[in-house]
Chains A and B, each alone.
Chain A
Amino acid sequence: GENVEQHPSTLSVQEGDSAVIKCTYSDSASNYFPWYKQELGKRPQLIIDIRSNVGEKKDQRIAVTLNKTAKHFSLHITETQPEDSAVYFCAAFGAGNTPLVFGKGTRLSVIA
Chain B
Amino acid sequence: SAVISQKPSRDICQRGTSLTIQCQVDSQVTMMFWYRQQPGQSLTLIATANQGSEATYESGFVIDKFPISRPNLTFSTLTVSNMSPEDSSIYLCSVGDFGSEAFFGQGTRLTVV
Contact = CB atoms under 8 A, between A and B. Distances in A.
A91 B94 CA distance: 14
Nearest to B103: A46
Contacts, number: 45
Contacts of B99: 31-32, 93
Which of A42, A89, A93, A99 is packed against the most chain B CB atoms within 10 Å? A99
Interface string B98-111: 11111011110000
Interface in B87-101: 92, 94, 96, 98-101
A43 B102 contact: no
B92 A99 contact: no
A42 B96 CA distance: 19
B101 A99 contact: no
B33 A99 contact: yes
Interface of A: 31-32, 34, 42-46, 49, 89, 91, 93, 96-105
B42 A103 contact: yes
B45 interface: yes
Contacts of B41: 104-105
Given A43-B105, A43-B106, A43-B107, A99 B100 contact: no
B43 A93 contact: no
